[in-house]
Amino acid sequence: MISRASKLIGGAAALALIAACSSGADADRDPSVDPIPVATNKPETGGNDIQTEETPEVTDTGDVQGELGEPIGLAGGGDEAIFTLTVNSIEHADTCPSRIDPVDVEPEGEDFLVFDISAEMSEDYSEYLDDGEEPFLTIAPDAFYLTDLNGVIQADVITVASYECFALEDQPAPFINPGETASGLIALDTSLDHGYLVYNPWGVDGSGWTWEF
């Protein structure tokens, strides 16, 4: 069974620390090998606690706090990561290159928040799924959202303008499957100068991974 949320639910385990720090994710790296700083667990209704000497830093909402350039890992039940995601950089941009025509795209909000990601999924990912779970994860723009520093979610960050940003070859594939790697740029439309980028494809409160910008 995969574990993903970042806090304890009842008596179930909520966090599993995997390993130490890293400056980035290499496309050829075995996902079972260090460095993978943290893994998170999804909410469960029973089972034994996972005992660790350390716990990853979490926000007030229970999401795991990530660091730029360091992969966050998803534990499959042991000390090996079956999925890792690295946010390599986050930048504000006044425009972005269009994938449709040669004229740069202007945001509908104040600017674009552009982030560069790398993701990797182990070949045995599907072995840890519950019945009925899909053997892939989305890393498309709609798996991410933005909040202000108080945790208030910004609406309408995926716009016609942000959708037009970047040629397809510069974007990550929308889904990652077992044994695959993916990387690329994503743009969201924002009016926030500072806040948090949150990745939460599971849609469970407190199970996301977050990076401050």
Fold of 15-46+54-212: Immunoglobulin-like (2.60.40)
**CA angle in degrees (0–180, nearest 5) for 161-167-169:** 145
- Name residue 186's beta-bridge partners: 115
Query: Rounded CA gap, 15 and 43, in Å?
Result: 10
Domain ranges in the chain are: 15-46+54-212
According to the model, what pLDDT value does residue 67 have? 96
Whole-model pTM: value is: 0.75
Spell out the per-residue pLDDT of the chain, length 213, in tens: 554 433 222 222 232 333 333 333 333 433 333 333 334 443 333 333 333 345 678 888 889 999 999 999 988 766 779 999 999 999 999 999 999 999 999 999 999 999 999 999 999 999 988 888 889 999 999 999 999 999 999 999 999 999 999 999 999 999 999 999 999 999 999 999 999 999 999 888 888 999 999
